[in-house]
Structure 1
C-alpha cells in the first residue's frame, strides 16, 4: 500500500484515465486512473492541465468513489 507521500512519487505518464459523469458530460467529468497497487489518480476533464489528485483505494472508499463506476476494477 502507498502512503500519501509515495503517491505523488508515482509516474502517471501514460496512465489511462476513464470518465464518469453525474449528468451530461458537457460540463466536465471526473476522471480516474489506476497508477499503482492500491493507488489512484483523480482528475477533472474541465481542467486537463491541472495535476490530478492521488488517493489510495481506502481513501476512495471513504470518499464514496467507486472505481467500478468508471469501468475500473479495484
Structure 2
C-alpha cells in the first residue's frame, strides 16, 4: 500500500484530470485523475496552478469521494 511519501513521488505530468461538479460549475469544480494503481490526484479547477492533493483509493473512499462520479473506474 502506498503512503504519503510514495504518493507525492509519483509523476503526474500528463495525468488526465476530469471534473465533477455539484452544481452549475460557476464556482469551480473538483478535478480527479488516476496517477497509479492505488493512487489519485485531487485538484481544484479554480486554482489550476495549485499542486493537487494525492490520495489512495482507501483514503478517497473514507472521504466519501467516488471516482465513478468522475467517470473513472477504481
TM-score, scaled to structure 2:
0.98
User: Structure 1 residue 37: deviation in Å?
Assistant: 0.8
Measure the CA separation in 2 of the matches of 1:42 and 1:70.
11
Residue number in structure 2 paired with 1:33 = 33
Measure the CA separation in 1 of the matches of 2:72 and 2:26.
22
Where in structure 2 are there 5+ consecutive unaligned residues?
none
User: Structure 1 residue 58: deviation in Å?
Assistant: 0.1
Measure the CA separation in 2 of the matches of 1:36 and 1:2.
10
Measure the CA separation in 2 of the matches of 1:27 and 1:64.
21
- In the TM superposition, structure 1's runs of 4+ consecutive aligned residues that sit over 4 Å from their partners are none
User: Structure 1 residue 45: deviation in Å?
Assistant: 0.1
Per the alignment, in what secondary structure is the counterpart of residue 8 of structure 1?
helix
Residue number in structure 2 paired with 1:54 = 54
Structure 2 residue 69 is matched with structure 1 residue 45: no
User: Structure 1 residue 68: deviation in Å?
Assistant: 0.1
**CA RMSD in angstroms, aligned pairs only:** 0.5
Per the alignment, in what secondary structure is the counterpart of residue 69 of structure 2?
helix
